[in-house]
């Protein structure tokens, strides 16, 4: 079992998301994340999907997706150079003053070029906004959980695009 990535061009129509996600539930495929948004063309959406699967199952998933009328193109991103980011919000509350300071330190350490910021603050709480790779986000969440008692995490799921000449995943 390995984590795999697929980008999917689909018709931007009612029911397509249900059809794609329905495949994963109907066949018991282990879907990790699925994001979707429109592209430069109004009538085409692009999905980024990550799934845990062995080789045979993953081949099957790609074939099944390809067989759908609404799916225009399937791209296997697993071994391609890509840029990938996920937006994450983490609200840390019930902070003592030292805690607050530590939160800022953490943000500072993780931050590279503005991709981790504290964007909101209250008497005893702060809000992280991160645009990191999924793995980096996992690490940040793990750290926050180990340091603070009360945290709330909202994640957007990863979005990926094929590289031009550099990559980041």
Partner 1 sequence: MALNITGRKLFVKALKEEGVDTIFAYPGGMITDIIDELYKTEGINVVLGRHEQALVHEAEGYARATGKTAVVLVTSGPGATNTITGIADAYYDSIPMVIFTGQVPLHLIGNDAFQEVDIVGMTRSITKYGVTVRNRDDMGKIIKMGFQIASTGKPGPVLIDIPKDIQTISGDPEYPEHVDIRGYHPNETVHIGQLKKAYRLLKTAKQPLLLAGGGVRIAGAEDKLVKFAEKMNIPVTTTIMAKGVMPEDHPLFIGNCGMHGRYAANKAVTECDVLFSIGTRFNDRITGELDEFAPKAKIVHVDIASASISRNVSVDVPVTADAKIALERLVEYAERIECKEWLTEIKAWEAEHPLSMPKSKIGVCPQDVCEAISEVFPNANIVTDVGQHQMWATQFIQLNKGQEFITSGGLGTMGFGFPAAIGASIGNPHKPVVLITGDGGFQMNMQEMATAMSNKHQIIICIFNNSNLGMVRQMQQLFYGKRYEITDLSSSDGHYYPDFMEWANSYSCKGIRITNDEEIKSALNEAKANKKGPTVLEFIVSPDDLVLPMVKSGTPLSDMILR
Residues found near partner 1 in the complex (CB under 8 A): 10-11, 13-15, 18-19, 22-23, 26, 56, 59-60, 63-64, 66-73
Q: Between residues 56 and 164, which has the closer beta carbon with respect to partner 1?
A: 56
The CA distance from 6 to 112, in Å, is 27
Specify the length of the chain in residues: 169
Shortest distance, position 15 Cβ to partner 1, whole Å: 6
Q: Between residues 22 and 81, which has the closer beta carbon with respect to partner 1?
A: 22
Q: Which residue, 8, 71, 12, is CA-closest to 41?
A: 12
Q: What is the dihedral of CA 107, 112, 115, 116, to 10 degrees?
A: 0
Shortest distance, position 39 Cβ to partner 1, whole Å: 13
Instruction: Work out the end-to-end distance of the chain between its first and last CA atoms, rounded to an integer number of angstroms.
Output: 19
Q: Between residues 73 and 150, which has the closer beta carbon with respect to partner 1?
A: 73
Shortest distance, position 32 Cβ to partner 1, whole Å: 21
Q: Between residues 23 and 153, which has the closer beta carbon with respect to partner 1?
A: 23
Q: Would you say 129 and 154 are in contact if contact means Cβ atoms under 8 Å apart?
A: no
């Amino acid at each position: 079992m390995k984590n795999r990535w697929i980008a999917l061009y689909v018709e931007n129509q009612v029911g397509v998301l249900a059809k794609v996600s329905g495949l994963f539930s109907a066949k018991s495929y282990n879907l990790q994340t699925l994001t979707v948004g429109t592209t430069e063309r109004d009538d085409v959406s692009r999905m980024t999907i990550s799934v845990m699967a062995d080789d045979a199952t993953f081949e099957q998933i790609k074939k099944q997706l390809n067989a759908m009328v609404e799916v225009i193109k399937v791209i296997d991103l697993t071994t391609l150079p890509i840029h990938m980011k996920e937006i994450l919000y983490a609200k840390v509350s019930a902070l003592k003053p030292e805690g607050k300071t530590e939160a800022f330190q953490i943000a500072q350490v993780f931050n590279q070029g503005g991709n981790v910021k504290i964007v909101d603050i209250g008497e005893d709480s702060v809000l992280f906004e991160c645009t990191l790779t999924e793995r980096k986000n996992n690490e940040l969440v793990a750290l926050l959980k180990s340091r603070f008692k009360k945290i709330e995490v909202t994640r957007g799921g990863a979005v990926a695009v094929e590289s031009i000449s550099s990559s980041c995943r």
